[in-house]
Amino acid sequence: MKNDKRKEAIALKYDQKTSKAPVILAKGKGKTAENILEKAMKLDIPVQRDESLAALLG
C-alpha cells in the first residue's frame, strides 16, 4: 500500500437550517489542497486539522 503524505484538504459547508449534515464542496491533495487552504485563509474561514477525518472523507 502506498503511503501518500502530500498535504490534503477538504472544504465543507454546513447550514443547519437547510442540511442535516455537512456537504463536501471541494477536496484535493498537493497543490489543490494548498489552494483550498489559501482561499480559506483569505476569506477568514476557520481551518481544522484532523488527519483521520480527512482520510475518512478523502
Over range 10-25, report the average pLDDT. 94
Higher local confidence (pLDDT), 5 or 33: 33
Grade residue 2 by pLDDT with cuts at 50, 70 and 90. Answer: low
> Taking the domains of the chain in order of start, what are their residue ranges?
8-48
Tell me what pLDDT residue 6 has.
80
pTM: 0.80
1: pLDDT strictly greater than 90? no
DSSP string for 4-44 = --S-EEEEEE--TTT-SS-EEEEEEETHHHHHHHHHHHHTT
